[in-house]
Amino acid sequence: MDLSRYAELFLTESREHLSAMNHALLALESSPQASEPVGAIFRAVHTVKGMSATMGYRAVTELAHEMENVLDRVRRGEMAVTAEVMELLFHAADSLEQAIEAVVQSGVESDAPVPTAILEVIERLRACAAVAPANVTAAERVSPAASSAPSPPQPAVTHAATSSRLVRVRLASGTALRGARALLLVKRAASLGTVLEVIPPVEALQAEEFGAGFSIHLDCTAPRDDIVRALFGVGDVDRVEVDGIETVGQPGQASAAADGQTGSAARPTRQVRIDLQRLDTLMNMVGELVIARGRLLELAARQGDPALDEVVTLAARLIGEMQDEVMLSRMVPVGQVFDRFPRLVRDAAHALGKQIVFTVEGNDIELDRSMLDEIGDPVLHLLRNAVDHGIEVPEQRRAAGKPASGSLVLSVSRERSTVLVRVEDDGKGVDRTRVLARAKELSLVDKDKTALSDDELMRIIARPGFSTAERVTDLSGRGVGIDVVMNRVRAMGGAVEMRSVPGRGTAVTVRLPHTLAIVRALLARVRDEVYAVPLAHVNETVELEARFVRRVQGREVMLLRDDVLPLIRFDDLLRVAGNGSLARHQVIVLEVGERRAGLVVDELTGQQDIVVKQFDPTRESLALFSGATILGDGAPALIVDVGSLL
């Protein structure tokens, strides 16, 4: 049986278990006496071991097996959770991830030698398990950050009693890829406990050398109903027998065989895995449909044919519904990308000798998958910057009257039609005096300037290559700064804000649209060209009247109710001649966070869903646009980068 077809599935499943493993390792490090994280790590490693053995990935299997041995001694109370053990487990988890990625990419055969780097980790794990002292109680487990002083006696750890269960599974008639389905069922069983034995063996299952059913000896304390429900959830299952009681068909609709009842056939699974490239292709096609819809509506309006109008209206509605469904299918929780950050923050903090309590909030908020992929690196840089430059070492924090452990929070929230990603720390804040002095050296500000606002501070720090660092670290300070974050976010149609208070910390907020592909925009004309302004940043529109225009400190402003609104004349930015008539101008009130301004244009021509097309501007072009689109009349239009204006 050719198992290479399952390589991507193996990789996807393994990444999920690796993520769970890292979270459990962090939990164990913070609470060394807890038994739950040890069990979670063991189950994740055991599942990866079983899947890799099925795929024939020898290096992954052997590494996972040795990790199991160490974890088994820990959960039996035979090994203390010391700082050295934790570092070894973290290193082994990293090696396991690297080995999985390597074997999937290279398609390593089962008889291939184990790489030297993996062998070294395997030997360290074997040595660790071999020298571990016996009969270690929970009181003897120490935290990596704990004092070396002796701990008071505490009761020994008591583990929950386990139960050996015999589980028999029968596949539904006509199941495609029976071997793969059987392996998935074994994997699902392993997520509930420890698989002691599979009859016939896993090798026979993968070769599809079995009848309609097979058996699993499972060491598990989960209720029978949970086991049945989990196995039926895999799909293509006709019946499951646990503890001698058989359930037929969909659990909840079927009864025990002891009652002499039978149920309906198992309902097929309601979820399928789809390659992201297919979703991208589908999104591109929907985008083209949206462009065609705009063109079709405009042509139909010119014809004045009621029958044509009715058909076009129906087609437009269906395209809109299709657009919504495709966009929803691409939305995924940010936790799928942000789950890797706790481990990265932990490693960075340890490398710098800092203590940091890291919190992630809003993991369930959804973003377009393409947006989520793009935002990962900027957020990672902001976190590293906070760990490296923001949060102080414990001695400095104590001297400043702060707790020894710093606080770092990554939060995600919604605001109107945008998503906010905020990185906030309680560190020392940005040294405005040093930034101002450096800015004066580089002639970025006037020599007589005495203070910087948050917006001015952000603009200076975001300049390419700007740095006040006296030393270069492995985390930051190598010429890759906030400017990279700013450029990446602006390319996505977003904006970056920063608020910093000396001695109290810094908060950097990234504002993003929900999706990169299709956005709602306000269309504005300047001379003979039409431009698209994303509605996510539009607060309102008003007509410009000369009697409300003033000049304050040499800058043109407009009195808007009780507010003084700075004006930005778009024709000046575009370097085109003005039309000389204030009365006919319109003002688009733009808003990004707390910053507001009025963009003066000649005319507002309507609203439209636009398909964002990225482009590479020439060196001479203005940095005012984040992309381009095609309007309903077939004409191209540039998309205004609002973040660059405010």
Residues with catalytic roles: 46, 68, 385
**Packing angle between helix 454-461 and helix 432-441, nearest 10 degrees?**
50
Helix-helix angle 36-55:58-75, to 10 degrees: 160
**Contacting residues for 403 by C-beta, under 8 A, at least 6 apart:** 397
d(CA 40, CA 38): 5
Q: If you count DSSP H runs as helices and E runs as strands, how many of each does the chain have, helices first? A: 19, 23
**Number of residues that this document lists for the chain:** 646
- The span from the CA of 568 to the CA of 585, in Å, is 12
Residue where the block lists tokens 């056939």: 265
Q: How many other CB atoms are found less than 10 A from the CB of residue 611?
A: 22
Closest CA to 258 of 241, 245, 242: 245
Helix (H) or strand (E) holding 61: helix 58-75
Please state, in angstroms and rounded to a whole number, the distance separating the CA atoms of residues 636 and 250.
54
Residue 218 class from Cβ within 10 Å (0-12 exposed, 13-18 middle, 19+ buried)?
buried
Task: Confirm if 178 and 234 have CB atoms less than 8 A apart.
Answer: no
* Per-residue DSSP letter, 6: G
DSSP string, 253-309: TB-BGGGT---PPPPPPS-----HHHHHHHHHHHHHHHHHHHHHHHHHHHHT-HHHH
Q: From edge to edge, which strands make up the β-sheet containing 518-526?
A: 603-611, 518-526, 529-534, 636-640, 625-630
> How far apart are the C-alpha atoms of 499 and 390, rounded to whole Å?
13
DSSP letters of 116-177? HHHHHHHHHHHHHHHHPPSS--GGG---TTS-SSPPPP-PPP-PPP--EEEEEEEEPTT-SS
Q: How far is CA 446 from CA 437, 439, 554, 624, 646, in A?
A: 11, 9, 16, 25, 20
Residue 390 vs residues 344, 412, 437, 485, 633: alpha-carbon distances, Å: 16, 20, 19, 17, 51
For 376-504, list the strands marked E by DSSP.
406-415, 418-425, 495-501
Cis amide leading into 155 (omega within 30) = no
Q: Where are the alpha helices (DSSP H) in 542-591?
A: 570-574
